[in-house]
Amino acid sequence: MSLPDYKSTGKQSSSAPSHSSVVQLNVGGHLFSTTLGTLRRHPDSKVAELLGSQPKVSTDAQGRLFIDRDGSHFGAVLEFLRSEKLPTENIREVYAEAVHYNIKPLMKRLEETPELFGELVGRQQFLSRVPHYKENIEVLIRIARAEAVAARRSTILICVMRTEDDLGFYDNAVNSLEAGKESAVTFGPWKAEPSVRDLLDCVKMDIESRGYNVSIEAHVPERSFLSKSYDFFYKLTFTWW
């Protein structure tokens, strides 16, 4: 497939479209008008690749170039290609589009905004230092869903070991749980400044970003008069309805 010949001087051109040729785009039902030069501004991007000399996109019924992707935030991407103007809202969503289309200058500029800088440089760097964090989030969701049958809530225990010294008490702490009736998903230890509360906030944030309604509170295991109490445990509750 070749790009359609667009009128630029009142006559239909038989040569390859120039950078100034106007292009009509349909991105998942959202319509845009721009030029080839704008779309090809960053040659390494997926947009430039899709609309290269041998375009890799189809056309819709009206002959517009069609990109089969939600176009809700493509306008912000297109505005950056035109003027290098950054969006002032929906930063995360526009960043996801920049990543998808591999527009590296836009990705870099967005990563420097306060919203993404804190997420990427602060929170994500912290979580990368928490062993098996992402895997544990998946385990928590899987257990909660398995326990949701005919229930309004699913409750799972989390054990948070902040330091290597805390880890030394792990066996005793787990043994303090009611035998055979309680088990816990364990996080830590980590070598970074954030606290246990910061870690719990991250757990809640990341699970809620998946659409779940969750709460976290401290859990004190039942104990006998002579047994030691440990403050490593928290109850994560999923509310289904």
Domains of the chain, each with CATH number or no CATH: 22-112 (3.30.710.10), 133-239 (no CATH)
Other CB atoms within 10 A of residue 147 CB:
14
Q: Alpha-carbon distance 92 to 128, whole Å?
A: 20
Please determine, for residue 3, whether its predicted confidence score (pLDDT) is greater than 80.
no
First to last CA, the chain: 51
Q: Alpha-carbon distance 179 to 118, whole Å?
A: 42
Mean pLDDT of 71-79: 97
Please determine, for residue 31, whether its predicted confidence score (pLDDT) is greater than 80.
yes
Mean pLDDT of 192-200: 96
Q: Reduced to 3 states, what is the DSSP secondary structure of residue 67?
A: strand
Q: CB of 123 within 8 A of CB of 202?
A: yes
What global pTM score does this model have?
A: 0.73
Task: Specify the DSSP element, H or E, that contains 239.
Answer: strand 233-239
Q: Quote the percentage of the chain above a pLDDT of 70.
A: 85
